[in-house]
Structure 1
Amino acid sequence: MKEIRAYIQPYMLNHVTHALMEIPDFPGMSVSNCEGFGRERAETGNEYQPFYGKKRIEIFAADDMAGIIFDTIMRIAHTGHHGDGKAYIVDAIQGGRISTGEKGPELA
């Protein structure tokens, strides 16, 4: 099982969501607001740099779906402008459904 984690521009969330929902057997996702900064702080020298708002997407999926989901996010969230965001694929060792007590590496 893999976790796909992405930080994207807020205005791209609807586009990304619609594209992901077209993937057969898409497992679902969580979305939250977050703030942060990256390389852009180097461009401002020592001046105060405010945090930039992004949407954080978290998706847990089977290993064979992770690449498709990752590639979809990378393609759809891309505008070509600085600050489009980042995406990662991270190993998830085990998952569990709290409501049923099921556990296992295949639970996405």
Structure 2
Amino acid sequence: MKEIRAYVQPFVLGRLVQSLMEIPGFPGMSVLDCDGFGRVLVDSGQSFDPFISKKRIEIIVEDDMVDQVVGIIVSRAHTGRPGDGRIFLFDVLESISIRTGERHSGG
């Protein structure tokens, strides 16, 4: 299993979620508001604040679904402008259901 963690522009979230939900067996996702900045700082014109609002998306998927999900994130979040975002992949060792205690190995 992998965790796909993506930071994207807030205005792309609707079309991104719609496309992800069309994947058969898509497991769901978490979305959080966050602020951050990368190597390219954007000056908004008024007062300089390096932090830009983003959406942090967290998706846990089986290994065979990673390329499809990443491809959709890239295609739906891409504008070609600085600040489009970034995707990170992490190995997930195990998941545990809080309700049932059932364990699922990530291997």
Fold match by TM threshold 0.5: yes
Name the SS of the counterpart of 1:76 in structure 2.
Answer: helix
The alignment-based identity, stated in percent, is 49
TM-score, normalising length from structure 1? 0.88
1:12-59 CA-to-partner distances (Å, cap 9, x unmatched) read: 000100010011100000000001110124x88xxx643110000000
Question: What code does the residue aligned with 2:14 have?
Answer: N
Secondary structure at 1:40 match in 2: coil
Separation in structure 2 between the aligned mates of residue 40 and residue 49 of structure 1, nearest angstrom: 13
State how far apart, in whole Å, the 1-side matches of 2:50 and 2:100 are.
Answer: 43
Taking the aligned partners of 2:16 and 2:62, their CA distance within structure 1 comes to 19
Gaps of 5+ in 1: none
Separation in 2, partners of 1:15, 1:34: 19
Q: Which residue of 2 aligns with 1:104?
A: 104
* 2:21 corresponding residue in structure 1: 21
Aligned residues: 103
1:1-40 mapped onto 2 (5 Å cutoff) = 1-40=1-40
Mapped partners of 2:79, 2:9: distance in 1? 10
SS at match of 2:90: strand
Moved over 2 A (4+): none
Query: Over aligned residue pairs, what C-alpha RMSD do you find?
Result: 1.7
| CA positional deviation for 1:89 | 1.5
Structure 2: where are the runs of 5+ without partners?
none
